[in-house]
Amino acid sequence: MTTNEMNLTFSALSQNESFARVTVAAFIAQLDPTLDELTEIKTVVSEAVTNSIIHGYDGNPDGKVHISVTLDDHVVYLTIRDEGMGITDLEEARQPLFTTKPDLERSGMGFTIMENFMDDVIIDSSPEMGTTIRLTKHLSKSKALCN
Ligand SMILES: Nc1ncnc2c1ncn2[C@@H]1O[C@H](COP(=O)(O)OP(=O)(O)OP(=O)(O)O)[C@@H](O)[C@H]1O
Ligand SMILES: [Mg+2]
């Protein structure tokens, strides 16, 4: 089975969050996902990209967010990466309702949403390297990549 990959890099600006969500959804559409699967993937992209913009780069638009999507049969592999400030205590950050920005009306549910909607969530983060989120989702239908 042929794998199909795309990469996207954009400035850490909040108006690019919907661009990223729609672009990833358009790429994944070729696998014929259900509406629920597509909604879940779009939500997860929004959460991860928003985290990179508001936490990773703390609103600095000079930062860059990198997305990579690989389709392999009916499996979607999604990587969202920033070179921002990183996370010092990953276990704490993954707890439901934990947020370091309660003042910005964050609810601390981003990682919990990612874990609920995806089959696998791997977070690599350090103050030196920034943050990389690797997400895997198996779609219910299998469709051959024929074009
Ligand atoms: N890319 C990132 N770079 C640095 N810190 C991050 C990053 N992503 C998440 N974090 C840290 O992990 C915490 C938890 O993230 P999570 O997305 O679960 O909640 P939140 O962003 O604070 O709130 P919500 O997503 O509900 O608006 C954040 O408050 C932040 O401290
Ligand atoms: Mg968040």
- What percent of the chain is predicted at pLDDT more than 90? 88
Residue 141 has pLDDT above 90, yes or no: no
Whole-Å CA distances, 126 to 11, 56, 130, 144: 21, 11, 6, 38
- The Å distance, Cα 92 to ligand 1 centre, comes to 10
Class of 4-138 in CATH: alpha beta
The tokens 């954009």 sit on which residue? Answer: 10
Pick the catalytic residue from 17, 37, 40, 47: 47
Residue pair 13/61 in contact by the 8 Å Cβ criterion: yes
| For ligand 1, mutation pick of 92, 101, 105, 106 (most atoms within 8 Å of CB) | 106
Amino acid of residue 74: H
Scan for tokens 């959804």, then name that residue. 25
Give the domain ranges of the chain: 4-138
- The answer to whether the beta carbons of residues 92 and 59 sit under 8 Å apart is no
Beta carbons of 58 and 127 less than 8 angstroms apart: no
Give the Cβ contact number of residue 139 at 10 Å.
19
pLDDT in tens, 17-75: 999 999 999 999 999 999 999 999 999 999 999 999 999 999 999 999 999 999 999 99
**Taking residues 112-124, what's their average pLDDT?**
97
Is the pLDDT at 145 greater than 50? The verdict is: no
Pairing of strands 130-138, 120-126: antiparallel
Which ligand 1 atom is at minimum distance from the Cα of 98? 14
- Inform me whether the pLDDT recorded for 2 exceeds 90: no
Under the banding of pLDDT at 50, 70 and 90, the label for residue 142 is low
d(CA 77, CA 54): 24
Does residue 7 register a pLDDT over 60?
A: yes
**Residue owning tokens 């964050």:** 106
**Residue 102 pLDDT class (50, 70, 90 cuts):** confident
